[in-house]
Amino acid sequence: MRFGMIGSGSWATALAKILTDNGNTIQWWIRNTGTIATLKKRRHNPHYLGAAYFDTTQLVLSSNIEEVINNSDLLVIAVPSAYIIEALSALPRDILAGKKIISAIKGILPSNNQLLNQYLSESFNVSLTDYFTVLGPCHAEEVAAEKLSYLTFSGIDEAFAAKIADCFTTEYINTKVNHDILGVQYAAVLKNIYALGAGIAHGLDYGDNFLSVYIANCAHEMVGFCKKMVWDKESEEEQKSINYSASVYLGDLLVTCYSLYSRNRTFGNMIGKGYSVTAAQLELKMIAEGYNASKCIYKTNELVQADLPIATSIYQILWEHLPAEEGFKQIENSLV
């Protein structure tokens, strides 16, 4: 299978490392030609995960996205959700015909409030049967350090998802497979919102006791929303087979809320300490997916009507200028 990588941030770089460590040659689209030149000369990405070195004979680097797509069978899309449309919108509508898409995105496209599969279906006629996700509790920095991590590959075609997973299985990456293609994406979106909230709580000087109760309630809230979003799309028996305590759901929520590597937690910590959203964005210098996601989920839930008191309060803090202290008083009163 010929892999193409779309994106050059920390997560794209980590996934490229995993694939090449497992013996795969990849086509890699990198917009910045200076980054390409440095990778060729010094064998690492100069902007992200500088400790991850590559065998450049396994890399076909290009700033031409159409060239990378045309020379690939499977495309890993690892661009932050806010920039997906910018990266893909000028492409011919039929360019993804016959391709398998692997989404490495943990967010909703904020300009049109869609999951990536919904956008690709509308804009490029990509079938959900050709769409897969790679998600789970897996910080890019720990991948670079080759610390044992777990990734889950989801798709309607579980047999092909397993084939993809085999290409990512290494001594430091264990892989799992499931069929909950929509639920895992919504869980990944929500966990970023909750992690941002965990950061706010830390910035407000709440302690570990509160945080444990907060995260337990976030997990319950997340499962309720996911079930509402996918219930009419799967049989009741298939729903019962989903283990929401698995790494791709609860595990990812826990690590994103607790880890110092979590940019959402870091962003939220600054909000809790009194930074404005704009100041926090400038300080972080990276995308915190939970910020845009909080608005997208709030708008989506106006139709779904799931019980989301925590996510709603975080939305109000970030977008409606509710003081963080007041927002967390609301959250305190909703916890069980």
SS3 state of residue 203: helix
CB atoms within 10 A of CB 93: 9
pTM higher than the cut 0.85: yes
Is 189 within 8 Å of 293 (Cβ atoms)? yes
Q: What domains lie within the chain, and their CATH numbers?
A: 3-179 (3.40.50.720), 182-334 (1.10.1040.10)
Pairing of strands 131-135, 149-154: antiparallel
| Structure token pair of residue 255 | 């690590």
* pLDDT given for residue 189 in this prediction: 95
The torsion angles phi and psi of 25, rounded to 5 degrees, stand at -90, 135
In angstroms, the CA 193 to CA 288 distance is 9
Which residue type occupies 180? D
pLDDT confidence of residue 57:
94
Task: Give yes or no for a contact between 248 and 134, defined as CB atoms under 8 angstroms apart.
Answer: no
Both tokens of 317, joined, read 């803090």
pLDDT for the residue 200: 98
Of 279, 297, 288, nearest to 261 by C-alpha is: 288
Q: Are 66 and 97 in contact (CB under 8 A)?
A: no
Please give the average pLDDT of every successive group of 10 residues along the chain, which has 336 residues: 94 96 95 94 92 93 96 96 92 96 92 92 96 95 94 96 96 95 95 97 97 98 91 59 91 94 94 93 83 94 94 97 97 96
Tokens in use for 102?
């692997």
What is the structure's pLDDT at 239? 64
Please write down the long-range contacts of 327-332, taking CB distance under 8 Å and 24 or more positions apart: 327/200, 328/200, 328/201, 328/204, 328/206, 331/197, 331/214
